[in-house]
Amino acid sequence: MAKITFLEAIAQAQHEEMARDDSVFLMGEDVSGNVYGSSGGLLEEFGPQRVLDTPICESGFTGVAIGAAMVGMRPIVDYTIASFMYLATDQLVSMAAKSSYMYGGQTHIPAVFRAAMFYNGGIAAQHSDRNYSMFMNVPGLKIVVPSSPYDAKGLLKSAIRDDDPVLIFEDGNLWGQRGEVPGEEYLLPFGQANVLKVGSDVTIVAIAARVGESVKAAERLAKEGITAEVIDPRTLVPLDTHTILESVAKTGRLLVVDQGHRTCGAAGEIAAVVAEQGFWDLQAPIKRLTAPDMQIPFSTALEQGFYPDAGMIATAARELVKE
């Protein structure tokens, strides 16, 4: 298997799906220029109509994608930076998420909305959003959070073939990460979590780049005789509650790790599911590790420590196991 970067995996997925299906096209600001490296070679192969540079108008071009999807196209919208989605929130919430329901199933919106999360790099408050949790509160969307090149490719390909609007949050901290990706075609289903480490002392559910940090933490803990089970939900909507609950039934302890903010966040939702449905399996209170409910500062001196890393995760897991 070849080792490729997360970004290359995204590019491969787009390339394969565009070659497979004429109705798939990519649109967004500067997509033909391949500024970030996820659309290399697409312009040359598919031309400017299917690699469509848009003006800077997120709300407008999101509506355009939705209209195109209504008449049978399969747009992939690249927002580049997740923070820019706020400009498009009306279209995402009021049109993409609601059209199938509101029109009684007469239509559906097979569109993918790609958003990169550029936190932990001194890019300050308005470019550092990790905002998947906000959209989890909107029925009608599907929400994908890949944590590796392999997952990114398989999940994005599934997203493109899905008949519903899919938001895929790409962790910018993982863009350069290399991982093995098979040469032959594969798809990853939504709603099936990935168990990266099997363990019996504590369950760690982690999202996006926190998955890698949790695996590192689990490796450290293993040396101390603590076995942690690390679960990556892969998709937050739908959420594979079954795998999480089964794991907690075995370990009796749950740590949820999320780079998003705490209040009403993904970690809180996962914790609530276990508190409601797995309470009698718990041997200790559930613990969440999240970013603080604080805006993201510019200075590296201030931002460091905002997101749970392997050390913080290991410490929290040790405390949980002691209880």
Partner 1 sequence: MNSVSESLQLEMYRRMGLIRHFDQAVQKLFNSGRIPGSTHLSIGQEGEVVGACMALREDDYMVGNHRSHGHPIGKGAGVNALMAEILGKATGVNQGKGGSMHLADFSVGSLGESSIVGSGLPVAVGAALGSKMQGNDRVTLCFFGDGASNQGYFHESMNMAALWKLPVVFLCENNGYGVTTPNRRAAALEDISARAAGYGTPSTIVDGQQCLAVYDAVTEAVERARGGDGPTLVEAKTYRYHHHSEGPLYDNMTYRPDEELAAWKLRDPLLLFRQQLAGYLGAAELDKIEEQAQAEIAGALEFAELSPFPEPEEGYTHLYRTPIAVYGGEL
| Sites of contact with partner 1 (CB under 8 A) | 23, 25, 49-50, 54-55, 57, 59-73, 90-91, 94-95, 99-108, 110, 139-140, 142, 162-164, 190-191, 237-238
Q: Is the previous residue joined to 238 through a cis bond, with omega within 30 degrees of 0?
A: yes
| Residue 156 near residue 116, CB atoms below 8 Å | no
- Distance between CA atoms of residues 273 and 291, nearest Å: 20
Minimum CB distance to partner 1, residue 243 (Å): 13
Phi-psi region of 140 (alpha: psi -120 to 50; beta: other; left: phi over 0): left
Catalytic (active site) residue 261: no
Minimum CB distance to partner 1, residue 311 (Å): 35
In the bound state with partner 1, the residue whose beta carbon lies nearer, of 141 and 289, is 141
Beta strands in the chain (DSSP E): 2-5, 24-28, 51-53, 74-81, 112-117, 142-144, 166-171, 178-181, 194-197, 202-206, 228-232, 235-237, 254-257, 287-289
> Alpha helix locations (H) across 162-288?
209-223, 241-251, 266-277
Minimum CB distance to partner 1, residue 110 (Å): 8
CA nearest neighbour of 234 among 306, 302, 159: 159
Minimum CB distance to partner 1, residue 63 (Å): 3
In the bound state with partner 1, the residue whose beta carbon lies nearer, of 101 and 279, is 101
Residue with structure tokens 């958003």? 115
In the bound state with partner 1, the residue whose beta carbon lies nearer, of 80 and 241, is 241
In the bound state with partner 1, the residue whose beta carbon lies nearer, of 175 and 190, is 190
| Residue 66 near residue 15, CB atoms below 8 Å | no
Minimum CB distance to partner 1, residue 162 (Å): 6
Catalytic residue among 108, 127, 242, 261: 127
In the bound state with partner 1, the residue whose beta carbon lies nearer, of 73 and 85, is 73
Q: Name the residues annotated as catalytic.
A: 127
